[in-house]
A and B are shown apart, each in its own frame.
Chain A
């Protein structure tokens, strides 16, 4: 294994994704009911096996649902390593969770999201070796429903820049089937690479949860590959 692989963010063997360099942001794109969101959560939750922190910006899953979904792929995941900016609007501030949670009342409050993200990121950064933190933004599609595209672009780009400067790993999700091509092409600009997701085909559906194709990163296979969650 090379030196760069040692510091790159690694994924479980179930995901056919080679290690990704610190500071990178990946856009995971797939339609509703595809396993795209579950793949993104799994890519972040794999932090649990590498002593890394996890920070989620969640627009459509409460903290409990989010942690439950992550624990599907990582049963040993410790909530104390997780930070969540919960933007679902369902403020349950007394929820019994060891995760560090901040609430934002509405998805149009990008200012509040950004500031609370920064605050939680600092906390996770100092509590994990070498400041290694994986960040999941689930999902950009939801934000575009509530805020102007240009504002969402600026927000996502700012988050991506913070991830880059802190050596984190960003995993953002988008559902291209929900948007015009212009929206998808604009938001893709904030990421260093793209992971496209589709359902497994008839041959692989018994053994795989879906297929993925990676674009924009060197040293990654350009082919569609099956994956399991």
Chain B
């Protein structure tokens, strides 16, 4: 049996927001940044500014929430910056806030990069920009993966558990051992789906070496939106949701997958129990039912370690 302690002190963190606003016109920049700061005060965003492509590129970080940029920059274009942001911070929303005529811009090189547009001289002006930034921060519609309609409640529920307790992790590891043995696979894990990442809470086999995974690369983030609370993928290379990422998944030993959601008493999916095979494989209805039973057992254990046992995850007293 493999027993792994989750030594990285796993904690889900409260939301924090960072914005980067790029505009070579410093007076417009100052005015707009002040408007954003005032209008979004309740979200307390960290707003940075830059005046050029080079300066903005330096300021890109993986945690960036929203990038707002003019099109014409002294040393390049806003589109060049957006392309760089796609690599550094793929979850960031990109907004072109510009004087430029949108019908004249060549967008051919930005295939797939969804960029919002707000005209600086729009009748909505800064209000429209503020609304768009707020929507981007609070509902993150620019992600390329679906989220449960109860995402906010789900994250609140997730934060109510003491998931870094070594005794809990040891017990969950045993469940991954059972799953791996039953399905005769080398790798199994219990995962938590946080705001932007998938964290490996308990592992069997090679999953012990895996680090936190970005949510857009996670298969499990699709499992938690399944009505049936269980999802199978016979071949990641043939599944249109994962085909574009299949190379890295196969390198991890994931050719086929079955996952069952960890669902709270209020019906909120906080994570998954998964088994992975390195060969193409289908799973039967009995397989799905067994994995769901194990997931229910795992969830019962997690429930026993709630940080706030006197409260249910919808905020009511038990």
Interface residues of A (CB under 8 A from B): 102, 105-106, 108-112, 114-116, 118-119, 122, 125-126, 147-151, 153-155, 157-158, 160-162, 164-165, 180, 182-183, 185-186, 189-190
Since A109-B110, A122-B128, A153-B144 are in contact, a sample of 4 more A-B pairs with Cβ atoms closer than 8 Å, ordered by chain A residue number, is A111-B114, A119-B117, A150-B144, A154-B112
Question: B116 and A119: CB pair below 8 A?
Answer: no
Smallest Cβ distance from A16 to chain B, in angstroms?
25
Question: B114 and A122: CB pair below 8 A?
Answer: no
Within the assembled complex, what's the spacing in Å between the Cα atoms of A180 and B135?
31
- Contact partner of A147 (CB less than 8 A), chosen from B111, B117, B141, is B111
Within the assembled complex, what's the spacing in Å between the Cα atoms of A151 and B145?
9
Chain B, 57-110, CB within 8 A of any chain A CB: 96, 102-103, 105, 107-108, 110
Question: A149 and B135: CB pair below 8 A?
Answer: no
Task: Please tell me if B45 contacts chain A, counting CB pairs below 8 Å.
Answer: no
Question: B117 and A189: CB pair below 8 A?
Answer: no
- Contact partner of A119 (CB less than 8 A), chosen from B102, B107, B225, is B102
Give the nearest-CB partner of A108 in chain B.
Answer: B111
Smallest Cβ distance from B90 to chain A, in angstroms?
10
Q: A115-B117, A189-B225 are in contact. Are A151 and B103 (CB under 8 A)?
A: no
Task: Please tell me if B305 contacts chain A, counting CB pairs below 8 Å.
Answer: no
- Cross-chain pairs A/B with CB under 8 angstroms, 12 sampled: A109-B111, A110-B113, A111-B113, A111-B114, A112-B107, A115-B105, A148-B244, A151-B144, A154-B112, A157-B141, A158-B116, A182-B239
A182: chain B residues within 8 A (beta carbon): 239-241
Question: A114 and B117: CB pair below 8 A?
Answer: yes
Q: A111-B107, A116-B102, A151-B112 are in contact. Are A126 and B241 (CB under 8 A)?
A: no
Question: A180 and B240: CB pair below 8 A?
Answer: yes
Within the assembled complex, what's the spacing in Å between the Cα atoms of A185 and B244?
18
Stretch from B36-44, B118-126, B167-175 forming part of the interface with A: B118-126
Where chain A touches its partner, the secondary structure class is: helix
Task: Please tell me if B278 contacts chain A, counting CB pairs below 8 Å.
Answer: no
A105: chain B residues within 8 A (beta carbon): 108
Smallest Cβ distance from A94 to chain B, in angstroms?
14
Question: A149 and B241: CB pair below 8 A?
Answer: yes
Chain B, 206-242, CB within 8 A of any chain A CB: 216, 222, 225-226, 239-241
A151: chain B residues within 8 A (beta carbon): 111-112, 114, 144
Give the nearest-CB partner of B122 in chain A.
Answer: A122
Chain B, 114-168, CB within 8 A of any chain A CB: 114-119, 122-124, 128, 131-132, 135, 139, 141-146
A108: chain B residues within 8 A (beta carbon): 111-112
Chain B, 13-49, CB within 8 A of any chain A CB: none
A106, A114, A164, A183 — most chain B CB neighbours (10 Å): A114
